[in-house]
Amino acid sequence: MAEFKTNVMRILDKEKIDYTAHQYPHGKEAVDGLTVANLLNEDPDCVFKTLVTQGDSGDFFVFVVPVACELDLKKCAKSVGAKHVEMIHVKDITKVTGYVRGGCSPVGMKKPYVTTYHISAQSLNHIIVSAGKIGYQIELAPADLVALTNGRYADIIR
């Protein structure tokens, strides 16, 4: 049987970016990021969640932070040059990103959005983010992920 590949994994393969795929047991519903880190036996500081906001201009912004952390929306807005940003409603995640809640990856969204990674990612050898489907994660070098998504680093957590 062929190895399962998500669209995110296919994009990484096409771009020749090294990654390690991880799978964790799950039900129909997403689990929180700390649970994912525990299931993968990984340090929560290396496992990142992808959060989507909308600015006062109507533009969408993507923020990628360690799973145990909370966004500071004021810092986020400042980092993207907006007056303010707010989290998008859960019901809008698929429409905006193409992903479901709990399977949102910074790679391969419907459109390219301004993507900002918490500065802690710069000092890590690897980070783990969703592979675009609940139960699947990818591990890769932060610099590769930031380059692929035309991302940037900023202090965006509380």
What count of residues does the chain have?
158
Tokens 């859960």 belong to 90
Q: Is 147 helix (H, G, I), strand (E, B) or coil?
A: helix
8 A C-beta contact, residue 115 and residue 150? yes
Cα angle: 78, vertex 82, 87; to 5 degrees: 90
CA–CA distance, 79 with 91 (Å, rounded to integer): 26
In a domain, 85, yes or no: yes
State which H helix or E strand residue 76 sits in: helix 73-80
pLDDT tens, 112-158? 999 999 999 999 999 999 999 999 999 999 999 999 999 999 999 99
In a domain, 121, yes or no: yes
In a domain, 35, yes or no: no
Q: Is 114 helix (H, G, I), strand (E, B) or coil?
A: strand
In a domain, 14, yes or no: no
Q: Which range scores top for mean pLDDT: 28-32, 39-43, 59-63?
A: 59-63
In a domain, 104, yes or no: yes
In a domain, 110, yes or no: yes
Residue 141: give the domain boundaries: 43-154
In a domain, 24, yes or no: no
pTM assigned to the model: 0.94
Q: Report the first-to-last Cα separation within the chain, whole angstroms.
A: 45
In a domain, 18, yes or no: no
**CATH code assigned at 141:** 3.90.960.10
pLDDT tens, 22-38? 998 877 666 788 888 98
8 A C-beta contact, residue 148 and residue 138? no
Main-chain phi, psi angles of 154, to 5 degrees: -160, 160
Q: How many helical (H) and strand (E) elements, i.e. helices and strands, does the chain have?
A: 5, 8
Q: What total of structural domains would you count in the chain?
A: 1
- Residue 2: pLDDT band with limits 50, 70, 90: very low
pLDDT tens, 94-123? 999 999 988 999 999 999 999 999 999 999
DSSP string, 120-143: GGGG-S-EEEE-SSTTEEEEE-HH
- Residue 42: pLDDT band with limits 50, 70, 90: very high
Q: Is 53 helix (H, G, I), strand (E, B) or coil?
A: strand
Environment class of residue 141 by beta-carbon count within 10 Å: exposed (0-12), middle (13-18) or buried (19+)?
Answer: middle
